[in-house]
Amino acid sequence: MGNFSELVFSGFLALLWLSARACSQAQEPQVPCFFIFGDSLVDNGNNNGILTLARANYRPYGIDFPQGDTGRFTNGRTYVDALAQLLGFSNYIPPYVRTRGPALLRGVNYASGAAGIRDETGNNLGDHIPMNQQVSNFANTVVHMRRFFRGDTNALNSYLSKCIFYSGMGSNDYLNNYFMPDFYTTGSDYTTKAYAAALLQDYSRQLTELYELGARKVVVTSVGQIGCIPYQLARFNGSGSGSGSQCNESINKAIILFNTGLRKLVDRFNNGQLPGAKFVYLDSFQNAKDLVLNAATYGFEVVDKGCCGVGKNNGQITCLPLQEPCDDRRKYIFWDAFHPTDVANIIMAKKSFSSKSQSYAYPINIQQLATL
Ligand SMILES: *[C@@H]1O[C@H](CO)[C@@H](O)[C@H](O)[C@H]1NC(C)=O
Ligand SMILES: *[C@@H]1O[C@H](CO)[C@@H](O)[C@H](O)[C@H]1NC(C)=O
């Protein structure tokens, strides 16, 4: 090749290299990894091999998800799937049960349907992975990750300090514990106030353990307004306008006690109790309430019934294998008796990701947390 054609050729290679680089940069997420703790709202397959009624690896769950019925408890993406996309991850964060090797470096989802802050929560449905075990599973992941940093704990800690941790816990401690007097004694052992305090004491310890293992940017989610989900509306004749009157307000009041305490815990963690920690409180109670109040704006027509389910409000029994779901999932806030649809999850994730209002994410939003 002559000098000129060589020059053109190497210029061409440089261009190729640059565009490949630009491409891979575009795919770089805003944070190196994303770790998820929670229950069925964000479980993506950890319960598939477990003996429990809290499983969703059958049709029509996942009907709008490219990989089908993965074990997600909705028709499409969960709230954390939507967050992973907003954070720029090109793949969803994989479930703990199937994640090995270098994939651990991008993050892991430990969530398990029916799980709670308390170990016994969810026993009425069968086995599950409670928060205590999810934290131990993360400790196990950290041991494996250390290998990729040649045992350099400082380097590993510096890496983990840039990652986002998400924890959504507590719904089942009410639904599948406190408000289930046939199976549990907590409802008579504790007042709602004492129960919220007991849960927060355990949760505070669990979140502190995550911090000790390296978590610094931590998003904790409040419990949603579960007095208004189709399951409750079916039990107590509510119509669920979400405006308050038809929801079960005694359940919502108990939840608000927990949520108020959780927000205070976030303040304590941020104000010196856990040096260097940046906790964000997500008000999913408010977020879901707004979704109902402004349903029409978002294109929702049905706010009080599951798209798939059995009985009143489609809320008495969860969506059964091979059951026919509603036609237009985009018109429903709820997919089944308990869980939001793909569209609802995406709207809520976008609000907590970038809203400037502290009524969704406090004291900063997730986008700001990511860039800190
Ligand atoms: C609300 O839920 C509680 C606890 O499950 C139940 O005892 C109560 O009867 C319900 N109240 C209404 C008004 O539906
Ligand atoms: C719910 O409605 C049914 C039928 O209309 C009625 O028999 C029942 O007493 C109602 N339950 C409550 C808790 O209001």
Q: Is 345 helix (H, G, I), strand (E, B) or coil?
A: helix
Residue from 174, 302, 322, 315 nearest 231 by CA:
315
Q: Work out whether the CA dihedral 121, 207, 216, 351 comes out positive or negative.
A: positive
In a domain, 17, yes or no: no
Ligand that lies nearest to the alpha carbon of residue 231, given by its number in the listed order: 1
| Pairwise CA distance, residues 226 & 21, whole Å | 46
Active site residue 241: no
Distances in whole angstroms, Cα of residue 296 to Cα of each of 77, 293, 303, 333, 354? 21, 8, 10, 11, 22
Q: Is 17 in the pocket of ligand 2 (CB under 6 A)?
A: no
Per-residue pLDDT of 199-209, as tens digits, reads 999 999 999 99
Mean pLDDT of 37-53: 97
In a domain, 160, yes or no: yes
pTM across the whole model: 0.90
Per-residue pLDDT of 252-295, as tens digits, reads 999 999 999 999 999 999 999 999 999 999 999 999 999 999 99
In a domain, 175, yes or no: yes
CATH number of domain containing 246: 3.40.50.1110
pLDDT value at residue 314: 83
**Distance from residue 288's CA to the centre of ligand 2 (Å):** 26
In a domain, 18, yes or no: no
Whether 13 has a pLDDT exceeding 60, the answer reads no
**Distance from residue 237's CA to the centre of ligand 2 (Å):** 6
Active site residue 40: yes
Q: Is 8 helix (H, G, I), strand (E, B) or coil?
A: helix
Q: Residue 107 sits in which domain range? A: 28-371
Q: Is 250 in the pocket of ligand 2 (CB under 6 A)?
A: no
Residues 43, 173, 339, 342: which is the catalytic one? 339
Ligand that lies nearest to the alpha carbon of residue 312, given by its number in the listed order: 2
Buried/exposed code over 202-217 (b: 16+ C-beta within 10 A; e: otherwise)? bbbebbbbbbebbbbb
Per-residue pLDDT of 182-193, as tens digits, reads 999 999 999 999
Q: How many structural domains comprise the chain?
A: 1
**Distance from residue 231's CA to the centre of ligand 2 (Å):** 15
Active site residue 336: yes
Per-residue pLDDT of 147-157, as tens digits, reads 999 989 999 99
Q: What share of the chain is helix, strand, coil (3-state, %, to 5)?
A: 50, 10, 40
Whether 353 has a pLDDT exceeding 60, the answer reads yes
**Distance from residue 235's CA to the centre of ligand 1 (Å):** 8
| Pairwise CA distance, residues 25 & 35, whole Å | 22
Give residue 170's identity as a one-letter amino acid code.
G
Q: What average pLDDT is seen over the chain? A: 91
Residues 81, 283, 290, 336: which is the catalytic one? 336
In a domain, 22, yes or no: no
In a domain, 6, yes or no: no
Whether 88 has a pLDDT exceeding 90, the answer reads yes
Whether 17 has a pLDDT exceeding 70, the answer reads no
Whether 296 has a pLDDT exceeding 70, the answer reads yes
Residue 235 pLDDT level (bands cut at 50, 70, 90): confident
